[in-house]
Structure 1
Amino acid sequence: MHYQTLLLAVMLGILTACNSGGPREQEQADSSAAASPGAGITGPSAKAAGSYQGVLPCADCPGIDYQLSLYEDHHYRELRAYRDRNHHKAFIDTGRWQLENDSIVRLLREQPQRFLFQDGKLYHLDQEGHRITGMLADNYILRPVEGGGNYARLQEKAAAGADFWAVGNEPGWTLELDRQKTLFFLNQEGDSLRAPTPRPRPNTDTLQVYTAKTEKAELILTIRQRACMDDMSGFMRPYTVEVQFKDRTYTGCGESL
């Protein structure tokens, strides 16, 4: 899994080296973002930074797909998706986190959530700060997952105006969308399309379809508000994405920036 991710990054790096001379090269280099979310932290918090997953118990559904990403600037991103409910729509919460007593991860929000960081995992703690026990105890353990992406670089893209980013595998591809300006698609073979962003039709809370055209090609981008799991790393993002380009269909996962 890790080898495949590195292979994609190397292939996109080769494309960059072979086409030096302008903005296109920077976009190709950016498309291989796969650094650890904790790469920029120094000190005790560095060991806890990263992304973690589990399936939480649910009273009226088969389970809750849960992912918590702890980023280098001490922001967090929490994803929840209820199985067999709401078309597996992802619910996102963001905020700040801190590490207490070198082992307790605390999400700073109105109702603080605490986890014990131990052996590279996160263990949910109850309101009294104790580990959850009993038959469902294993469901409250979050295990590390790769593929969290280059958080700092995605933040830079957001500051530059990008609204949405998506990635897929086999073959590897990335897409960057500025809903007010341009859409840019690139695959690992070097095929790409840059076009003004069209109005999505349809455009609903759960489905958006963009049809972008240039003189040489057409691209159809479909974004569904349905939790998506990367088929290599297992990392989850809140949107399922499909791209139709040059008689080929690409599938992957996306997120708002």
Structure 2
Amino acid sequence: MKRAIILIFSFSFASCAHQTAKNELLSGEYLGISADQKYTRLSLSESNFEKDQIEIGKEPNFLKIKGTWQAVNDSVIALNEQDRAKSFYKLKDNQLVSLNSQLKENEPSLSIRLFKVDHSIEAEGNIESLAKEGILFFANGNEPFWALKISSNNIAEFNKPDLDTPIKFSNIRMIKGKDYSIVYLSEDSQDKLIIYKSTCVNDMSGKVSPYFVELYFKGTHYRGCGDSLKKEFL
């Protein structure tokens, strides 16, 4: 009898240890853009998760979901979302790939792949030099390359390779929110920068920034990452 109890205890302990090790391996921050253009940030802690979703190219929006998660097997996890059905992801090629309720990969139009964020790449040489120039916020993106600087004298400067000189905006105004802020660059509010409080990774350099941004300028939509160089800015 004692032997049986010891064996059961040993098995339970080993199973628990395996689950803990699995959770620690998967824990971290994941980012991705779905086929229907939803920017997703998923943060997994030991047993809880937090998910942000932003619909790219639409009016400012920010959906935050919290809940718990656990491993279904060695490669599949389940997210138990508050007031929602479970969602499933499979670890594949160092990414989390969305699954349907039958644990099969979603069709391309519904699929999302989230890659794990490498937080060791968080510094970029020009950030310190920009701070010395009095820049409060710096945003940039790729394909096409673009950059926007916001300075302490209430001026923003937009630049990209095909411009002879940067375009400057004076008397910009900002509305601060809990999950995102909007910087209006023009009087008619058509040109604007939306700053979301959601982690972003530069898809060329791998640099990690604390903000995902969308820029609307002269009818063109840009997206990229942003860094606040002064805490009081946001």
TM-score, scaled relative to structure 2: 0.47
User: Between Structure 1 and Structure 2, whose CA radius of gyration is higher?
Assistant: 2
TM-score, scaled relative to structure 1: 0.43
